[in-house]
Amino acid sequence: MNLESIRTFCLQLPQTTEGIKWGNDLCFMLSEKMYCVAGLTGPFSCSFKCSDEDFAKLTEVPGIIPAPYMARNKWVNIQDPSVLTKEEWEHFIKNSYSLILSKLPKKFQQNLQ
């Protein structure tokens, strides 16, 4: 996966918006809550939220680290895009989206159905 394929996938998820934060990060959001963040410059970097189990598993993989500032919230940072297959990327991004969605008000969740 590269930045453009991540962007294409994220924008297919319902009610996703995108914006640039901190001057250098492309953020994909659901109701202003981030679920995926990708660096726009420098070496590849993409972060997303994951379950406790996935966090433990993914941070054991070379090229994946706990996301700076967000590790306590179970976010990982992928520094080598080749460590995950396209299917795994899509699975984990969709899971991050679902985790954020589950924390939003029930009324918002119902409007997505």
Sorted by where each begins, the domain ranges of the chain are 3-103
Question: What pLDDT is stored for residue 106 in this prediction?
Answer: 87
Which CATH number is associated with domain 3-103?
3.90.1150.30
Per-residue pLDDT of the chain (113 residues; tens, 9 = 90+): 999 999 999 999 999 999 999 889 999 999 999 999 999 998 999 999 999 999 999 999 999 999 999 999 999 999 999 999 999 999 999 999 999 999 998 888 887 76
Question: What pLDDT is stored for residue 109 in this prediction?
Answer: 81
106 vs 75: CA distance, rounded Å: 24
Question: What pLDDT is stored for residue 5 in this prediction?
Answer: 97
Which pTM does this prediction carry? Answer: 0.93
Residue 30 exposed, middle or buried by CB count within 10 Å (0-12, 13-18, 19+): buried
